[in-house]
Structure formats: C-alpha cells, structure tokens
Structure 1
Amino acid sequence: MRGQKLSLQNLMNHYRQRWISAPDVRKPSNNMQYRVADGILAAFSVFFMQSGSFLAHQRLLQSKQGRSNARSLFQVEEIPSDPQIRNLLDPLTSGYFREDFWYLLDELQKQQRLGAWRNELNTYAIALDGVSFFSSEQISCAKCLKRSDRSGEEHFYHTAITPVFVKPGQSQVLPLPPEFIVPQDGSEKQDCERMAAKRWLADQRPHFTDHSVTYLGDDLYANQPLCQLIAETYRQFFIFVCKPESHTGLYEWIAFLEQNGGVEQVSQRHWRGKHAEIWHYRFANQLPLRNGNDALQVNWFELVITHEGTGKILYHNSFVTNHTITADHVPALTQVGRTRWKIENENNNTLKTKGYQLEHNFGHGQQDLANVLATLNILAFLMHTIQEITEPAYQRLRKALGARKTFFNDLRALTRYMIFDSWDTLFHFMEQGLEIAPQPP
C-alpha cells in the first residue's frame, strides 16, 4: 500500500534509527545508562500522546510487567526519568530535527498526496507568522530573548516563526520546521521575526523548485529586503498584507493612479443564504513598494466585502504581490492571500489549545532544551496530520470517536493499563471495541 511507509510503526522505527546517531556531548563512562535517542523518543511520546503523565504510567508498567508501550509503540529501550530526559536533550539544537519534518513531507510528495495543497495559482502557499510560547521573570536560558517592562523588571521569553502549508478550502495545515528567534552570535541587535524569516528561507531553499511557492504573511513581511529576497534571490512568489500606515509612499501612488483611472476594479455578487454580499476588488500593477529610486516594483490589490442590503463593510484588506494581477486572476490571488489566517487558527491556536500545550513549560534547561521540546511538539502535530491523511485505521477511529480530545483520551486510558505489541494491534483493538473494523474482502 502506498501509505505503508508512513504508518506509525514504520515511522517510529525510522526515527529510532535516525536519532540513534544524535549528537552526544557526554564523556564516555560506565554510568551512561540512557542513550540520547531514548531521551528524544521519550519526549516525543509525551507530545504524541498529549499526556504529561504518559511516561510515569509506562515506568509503572515496566516495573510490574517488564515491558511497556513506551518501547513497543515509541521504540524507547530504557525510559529515562524526566530530569534525565531534560539533561539528554538540552545540549541538542532544534535545527537537528529539521530533516525529520522533511522526511514526512517528502514522502507525502512521493506518494502524490502533497499535491492536494497546490492552489489555483499553481503554487504551494506557505504562511509565515510568529508565535510566543514561553515567558518568565525568573527562568531563563542562553536562547531566551529579553525585554524590560515599564518598571524596569526584566522578562525572558521564547518566540518562533512556525511556517505551514495552507490551501483555501483545505481544513488541514502541514507544519514545516520552525525557526526560533534567538540571540545571534556576534550581533548586538536582538533577533526578530524578519531576520528569522530570512534564515528560514535560506535553510529551506533546497526543498523548493523555482516559482513553486507563494509565501503569505502579515504587514510585517511586506518590506523591501524580504520581498526582494523572495522574488529575486529565491525566485518564488509572495502575497503579503499591506497597510496604508506602513506603506505611505505606495498608497500615494495608488491615490494618484485612482485619480487618473489607473486602478482597475472588479465586482462580484455572492449569495449567502439570507443575504447577498458584494465583493469589490481593486488592483494595479508595477508600483514602488517604498520611496526611492531603488524601490522594488510590486503589484497591489484590495478586497472590500459589503452587505448588499445594509452597505456594512464585512471585510477589508489589501495586499502586495509579485504575481501579475488581472481581472480574471484577482479573485484567486485574494483567496490564497486570505488563507494566511490558517496559520493562526489551524496551527498556532491548535498548538496552544488543542492538547499540545505549546505554552506549557515542559522543561527549560540552560541551552536549547525549550526550543528542542517545542520542535518535537510541532513534529508530533505534523505526524498526527500525516496519519489523518494516509492511514485508514487512524482515519476510521478519528471519525468514529469524533472530537480529537476523545481519541487521545482513549489512547491514554488504554495504554495506561494494557500493553500493545504495535500500533496496528492497538488500533485493531480499538476498532473491534467500536465495531468499526473493516470487513474482509
């Protein structure tokens, strides 16, 4: 079967083999009971099961029965204690796990499933946005950012950009490797979202062919250095929100063109069941993004949605892009640009509120532990999504149990009291109990 390589059992076997070679900075000694791979797999199991107590239950099973689901399901040979896990992972770098995301995404591509995220522009849309996931006045590490409040008290915090594949009408997003906003060696300036985006683009460039990606982002990203980098250096596309207050020069040009009939307009009427909406587009090509002779030429478009009966404005936003805009093309451009919100709702909000508890302090460490744990958490989210796409048993169980919370509650309850030899065995047991097992041909 084409999805077999992405089964949970195969994936955990793959990651076990890869993480066996994870860097180990410890000096060799007879006291090295746990491998770094066991620490990584153990931490990953907590995020995959969405349970901070999963390992405690598995240690109890191990002590009473001599085996556990940590080993059979997650390939953990010896279960480290929580402090030992933190010590094993702290010296690692979050960047070590980038290829673990691409292993999943490349396999989706090989199975011709990634094409479901190709949009009407014949590109893949990748939304970029920043997310904060830790803040404290007392706890800090080498990778913390710092800020002082009005009283002068210092705050330590962690943020990252969390890019995702998005598509209009597609409920699922596919997380990509995160890029953390951290103090940079040799730089007196504090790192920022824009600089992190530039690093991410450079690191991930080899994974994309020319003109295959449209990057989406808010107004923060609509600046000349980043837009020029995407368009000219990486030969990709962008659609970024563009606000008048931060692009005064551009909007002076738009006002001038409008006075002289240089802004094209298109209107559409959409019925919404009880009332109609008027979607009014305006656009113009080849405008300077900023003042100055070296300004990058961009294309601008705007959508205003009004209630036909009352005239009330329901939506208003404007964008810049390096896609050429035509009257036929502007609705598709706008639809793709508007999917930027999915990174907030379907990705960041899910990571914070749907069981992943991204903002919870699972451990901070002195080096990169906080970012490593956040990366493994996001990787677990991607693996869950991959299972929803590729694995029939996982799909049947999620459908039968309804809410995500119910599904994971059942996984946690079963693995607390029973030991399953494999994921297939666990899923088969659940399907039999729910009487949804597929009938033999």
Structure 2
Amino acid sequence: MGTAIQKKVRQFSATYLIKTVSECFEKIPDHRPNKCIIPFANFPKSAFAMMHQKCDSLLAFDEERLDEVCCHNLEKLYHIKDGIVPSDTRMREVVDPLDPAEHKTPFKKLLNIVQRNGALKGFEFKCGKLKDHYLLPVDGTGLFYSGTCRCDDCCIMNEGKKNEAYYHNILGGCIVHPKQKTVLPLAPEAICKQDGTKKNDCEKAAIRRFLAQVKHDHPQIKLVILLDGLETVVKVTDH
C-alpha cells in the first residue's frame, strides 16, 4: 500500500479543505433577479456549514445563527461574508433552484488535493494482474419522499392514482480500499426529472451520467466499478 492520508499535511487540514470548498461556492452564478443584502455565496456556504456541523434540521440551524458566537465562527471557519447567515426559509428559496451540477466542483477539487499529495496511492487495489487500479462502489439512495410536497424536478410514483407520491434519489460513489478507513467520495449524480422529459429518471440513466462525469473529471485514474443489481451494460472507455 502507498501513502495514506496524513493529517499533518497542511492541505489535509480542515481549515484548508473548508476554504477550498468555500472558494468553489464563490464561483456559482447568482440567479437572483435583484441585488440583495446577503451575498449569494453565503447561501451555499451556510448550507454546507449546516450539513458539516450535522445540525438536526434547517430550523435548528436557523436558531443557532442568531447566536453571536455562532455567527462569528461561521464567518471565520466557513468564510460566510460579514457573518450574515440566511434564514431557513430564504435558504430554501435560493438554494433549491440551483442545478445540482453546481455543487460538483468541490468534489473534484478535493480529490485533486489528495492526488497531488500522493495520498491516492494508499487506495491502489492490487489483485493478481490487476494493478494501479482503484475500487469505486456505486449505489443509489433516497433523499426525499412525500405524498403531498413536490417540485418540478420530482420523480412521480403511482402517477394519477390516489397514492401518488413524489421523490428524489441520488447516485453516489466513493474510492475505497479494504484496508483504509477513509473513503474518497466523488461528485454524486441526482436522480430527478430531466429537462424536456416526462418520464421518471432512473438509476440506470444516472449511472451513465455519473461515470461520464467521473471520466471527464479524472481521466487518468483507472477504476474498477462495483455495482449491485443494475441490469445494464455501461460503456466507459479508459476505465
């Protein structure tokens, strides 16, 4: 096995990694029609802080943002400009319309950091003639399900029936190794209604988009794709 991830490396510190993610959020275009008091990047940064701090809910995070010490920490650690944290309602209004693709860049940047520092070598999987490859298990999971609430991107279950329901799923993959406790997540692919289509999106279609994105972002990494229950043939050259 190669070099494992070492916390003593400066670029592996939480401060550096969070700053890298925050810089990616700065580049997301502001879709709001009018200029507002709250800088646009504060919205994805606040959402990231909420998830990273493992808050119980948006409402719990909304209550914490009123605390001066909390706002100070959010400004210094998550680079939320002027410590202005949006309310839960406003965060939903601004973040929900964003294309999921806008959130993929941080995943690419973070894996590039691991690769540049030689830590990716620690995840090489060798078995027989298989060398210099990496294991990438891929699977889908549910994100949202409701019988009443929906958005334009929701997939629909039992359409037109009394038990009609709406849902969002996601497809994710991580570079793993049997002897490593750490995993390296790649940018996930949303399973939701695609533009211009009336049919539900599905895991089979999502994995094609996912692997195409992986090939585009990391063309030099040789991957062994691990799937379960996907009755489809996915062709991705050079992987």
Q: TM-score range by the shorter chain?
A: 0.7 to 0.9
**Which residue among 11, 14, 20 is the counterpart of 1:5?**
11
**Which residue among 154, 160, 166 is the counterpart of 1:156?**
166
**Which residue among 175, 178, 185 is the counterpart of 2:188?**
178
Aligned amino acid, residue 171 of structure 1:
K
Match of residue 49 from structure 2: 45
Unaligned runs of 5+ in 1: 237-441
Q: Mapping of 1:224-373 within 5 angstroms?
A: 224=233, 226=234, 229-230=235-236, 234-236=237-239
Match of residue 4 from structure 2: none
8 Å CA contact 2:153, 2:193 repeated in 1: yes
Deviation at residue 112 of structure 1 after TM alignment: 0.6
What SS does the corresponding residue of 1:59 show, helix, strand or coil?
coil
Deviation at residue 155 of structure 1 after TM alignment: 0.5
Match of residue 129 from structure 1: 139
Distance 1:204 1:114, change over 3 A: same
Match of residue 388 from structure 1: none
Aligned amino acid, residue 131 of structure 1:
T
Aligned amino acid, residue 106 of structure 1:
N
- C-alpha separation in 1, matches of 2:17 and 2:100: 20
8 Å CA contact 1:36, 1:89 repeated in 2: no
Match of residue 167 from structure 1: 177
Unaligned runs of 5+ in 2: 1-6
Aligned amino acid, residue 217 of structure 2:
H
Match of residue 76 from structure 1: 80
The Cα offsets for residues 40-66 of structure 1, whole Å up to 9 and x where unpaired, read as 11111111111133452242226xx9x
Normalised to the residue count of structure 1, the TM-score between the two structures is 0.47
What SS does the corresponding residue of 1:187 show, helix, strand or coil?
coil
Aligned amino acid, residue 36 of structure 1:
F
Match of residue 97 from structure 2: 91
The Cα offsets for residues 369-407 of structure 1, whole Å up to 9 and x where unpaired, read as xxxxxxxxxxxxxxxxxxxxxxxxxxxxxxxxxxxxxxx
8 Å CA contact 2:189, 2:210 repeated in 1: yes
8 Å CA contact 1:183, 1:191 repeated in 2: yes
Deviation at residue 26 of structure 1 after TM alignment: 1.6
Distance 1:110 1:2, change over 3 A: farther
Of residues 96-105 and 160-169 in structure 1, the stretch that sits farther from structure 2 once superposed is 160-169
Of residues 6-15 and 18-27 in structure 1, the stretch that sits farther from structure 2 once superposed is 6-15
Q: Higher helix fraction: Structure 1 or Structure 2?
A: 1
Aligned amino acid, residue 168 of structure 1:
P
Normalised to the residue count of structure 2, the TM-score between the two structures is 0.84
Deviation at residue 2 of structure 1 after TM alignment: 7.0
What SS does the corresponding residue of 1:129 show, helix, strand or coil?
strand
Q: Mapping of 1:55-66 within 5 angstroms?
A: 55-61=62-68
**1:18 aligned to 2:24?**
yes
Deviation at residue 189 of structure 1 after TM alignment: 3.1
8 Å CA contact 1:119, 1:167 repeated in 2: yes
8 Å CA contact 2:24, 2:105 repeated in 1: no
Deviation at residue 164 of structure 1 after TM alignment: 1.1
8 Å CA contact 2:42, 2:80 repeated in 1: yes
The Cα offsets for residues 304-336 of structure 1, whole Å up to 9 and x where unpaired, read as xxxxxxxxxxxxxxxxxxxxxxxxxxxxxxxxx
- C-alpha separation in 2, matches of 1:106 and 1:71: 26
Aligned amino acid, residue 76 of structure 2:
S
Larger Rg: 1
What SS does the corresponding residue of 1:190 show, helix, strand or coil?
coil
Distance 1:91 1:57, change over 3 A: same
Aligned amino acid, residue 113 of structure 2:
E
- C-alpha separation in 1, matches of 2:193 and 2:159: 19
Deviation at residue 159 of structure 1 after TM alignment: 0.7
Match of residue 3 from structure 2: none
- C-alpha separation in 1, matches of 2:196 and 2:205: 14
- C-alpha separation in 2, matches of 1:21 and 1:150: 41
Aligned amino acid, residue 135 of structure 1:
Y
8 Å CA contact 1:128, 1:162 repeated in 2: yes
**1:219 aligned to 2:229?**
yes
- C-alpha separation in 1, matches of 2:160 and 2:94: 38
Deviation at residue 104 of structure 1 after TM alignment: 0.7
- C-alpha separation in 2, matches of 1:57 and 1:2: 31
Distance 1:189 1:17, change over 3 A: closer
8 Å CA contact 2:18, 2:77 repeated in 1: yes
- C-alpha separation in 1, matches of 2:79 and 2:24: 12
Aligned amino acid, residue 52 of structure 2:
F
Identity %: 26
Deviation at residue 88 of structure 1 after TM alignment: 2.0
**Which residue among 92, 96, 120 is the counterpart of 1:114?**
120
Deviation at residue 95 of structure 1 after TM alignment: 0.7
